[in-house]
Structure 1
Amino acid sequence: MAALDSSMQEGLLVDRAWFGRQGIESTAVDYYLRSGKIESLVHGLYRKPGPPLKWQQVVYSLIVLGHDVHVGHLTALSYHGYEHTLKLGVAQRIRLYSTRSLPSWVGKVDIGPGFIKMKRNLFPDGSIGLINVSFGTWDWPIPYSSAERAFIELASTLETREDILQAKLMLEGAANLRPMLLQSLLEACGNIQTKRLFLWLARTIGHPWYKHIDISRINLGTGKRQVVSGGTLDAQFLITVPKEVQDGQQEPLF
């Protein structure tokens, strides 16, 4: 039992391959199962018996099992204190970014509120704008998007008038974003529409940090982009945006 006790922490989810890397043979795993030292959650996934799982334990376990994942988008914005603008009473699924497909067991483990794997990879340098947040008894480091990165991630998924107005409400409360980090993130971001939409929101709101962003260093591409249908064309960033939001630099879309 010494090998199991010393290597498998409470709350960690592991598979047979993980046991093998710890030098624990398959026959020993079967013994631990029969004796109740570990339990099977779904086929091929194990943990020590204990209290109900938390979603952070699932995320850290993915990292231990070799997945490059981080918590981002609305989940990270909630961690950074912007949850008061989210819909009250609605359980938000955990937004995860991963460089590859997540194992099927992520959707089978009985844990609320569940996970969403975000599809768009915005940053070729995956580590830019990430922070580690300690969790649990062992201070497990879980990568989260900084508020700056999370707002850009949010901008990448805005498709409707309601989405944009909600994002604007959230960004209005973000007076303390760091312009140097935003500059680095926007220069590294590979999605043209996302950058234009974030910068439009930032300009419209007018936080002081926006004035410190050097737009000339950011690749914004060419041509017009339609974000919302029937909207107004912004003359600077050449995207269609909701008519309700005006700051003097929109023009009718003919």
Structure 2
Amino acid sequence: MFSYHQDLHDYLPVGFATRQWLLDQGMPVHTLDNALKSGKLVSLARGVVSHPRLANEPWDLGDVVASLNRELPEPVYVGGLAALSRAGLAHYASFNKREQLYSPLRMPAWFARMAISQNYVWHGTARLWDNAWLQNENHFRTFDFPWDGLKALATPEQAWLEVLAQVPNGISFEHADNLMQGLSVLSPRRLDALLRVCRHVLAKRLFFFFADRYDYPWRKHLNAADYDLGAGKRSVEAGGKLDKTYLITVPESLHGSA
């Protein structure tokens, strides 16, 4: 329970918090209101507060993700292009500077009201993963967050499948192809596990399309027949050419050559 003698920093050491979260931790309403009136806390948006020193500073990604994970009942993690970049695997192609956050939950309304939310793209994972499986199988890496033990960075293998799930509407074939040039060293064991539980059929077909195109050493350890790739033809690239192996349409410039 909240102690009047506790420093507010004990309850909000980093990042931001919702008013409701602080009340749930035992902070009395009048204490919170007084902290806001005195300037010990400042409002970032309706129902969201932080320490004043953070109000006008650029927000660190670690503070944002740690704050979200403290507030929400399901994990939020950095994935997709952002995770590849932090692994040093996105230097072959420039990409949108907005950070990529992934969660089985929708973006909270209170986070959307915050000005910093414009710097983030929120991706739902319901069509991609069983999030509990990812957590149990330790498919996250520890990022340099201020909260010890927080694992909130997708592995390169997981991030690559998340990127492919955005082709072609969020990421072009050409962009994905450039990214693939930096993925010569991936874990076939981790890829096998992820492909078995990935729910996104097109992402898996695109995975094998690019894997065949570059034929890196890890490719020989994966048999496409071992995974559920769905049935029938799928149009991925409008006006593209049909890849007869994986029955997806791809740009003619990428068809049949590496």
TM class by shorter-chain length? Answer: 0.7 to 0.9
Q: Distance in 2 between matches of 1:177 and 1:3?
A: 48
Q: Note if 1:75 corresponds to 2:82.
A: yes
Superposition RMSD on alpha carbons, in Å? Answer: 2.4
**Contact persistence 1:10–1:47 (CA under 8 A):** no
Pick from 30, 34, 39: which aligns with 2:33? 30
2:150 corresponds to: 141
- Give unpaired runs (5+ residues) of structure 2: none
Change (3 A) 1:55 1:160: closer
Q: 1:134–1:166: structure 2 CA closer, same or farther, 3 Å change rule?
A: same
TM-score, with length taken from structure 2? 0.86
| Match 1:175 to one of 184, 197, 201 | 184
Shift, 1:113, TM fit: 6.1
**Which residue does the alignment assign to 1:132?**
142
1:29-85 CA distance string (max 9 Å, x none):
112122222111111111112141323312211110124211111111111112323
Contact 2:241–2:255, Cα closer than 8 Å, also in 1: no
Question: C-alpha distance in 1, partners of 2:184/2:118?
Answer: 30
SS of 1:46's equivalent in the other structure is: strand
- Among the aligned pairs, what percent are the same residue? 29
What runs of 5+ residues in structure 1 fail to find an aligned partner? 250-254
Secondary structure at the counterpart of residue 131 of structure 1: strand
Question: Is the contact made by 1:155 and 1:198 (CA closer than 8 Å) also made in structure 2?
Answer: yes
**Aligned-residue offset at 1:215:** 2.0
Q: Of 86, 89, 93, which residue of structure 2 is paired with 1:86?
A: 93
Q: Counterpart of 2:104?
A: 99
Deviates more, 1:240-249 or 1:14-23: 240-249
Q: CA deviation at 1:145?
A: 1.1
Q: CA deviation at 1:112?
A: 7.7
Matches within 5 A, 1:1-254: 1-5=4-8, 7-51=10-54, 52=57, 53-68=59-74, 69-87=76-94, 92-111=97-116, 114-121=119-126, 122-128=128-134, 129-136=139-146, 138-139=147-148, 141-159=150-168, 163-247=172-256
Provide the C-alpha distance between the structure 1 equivalents of 2:170 and 2:20, rounded to a whole number of angstroms. Answer: 47
Per the normalisation by structure 1, the TM-score is: 0.87
- Matching residue of 1:252: none
Deviation at 1:91, TM superposition (A): 5.2
Secondary structure class of the residue paired with 2:102 = strand
Relative to 1, partners in 2 of residues 1:57 and 1:106: Cα closer, same or farther, differing over 3 Å? Answer: same
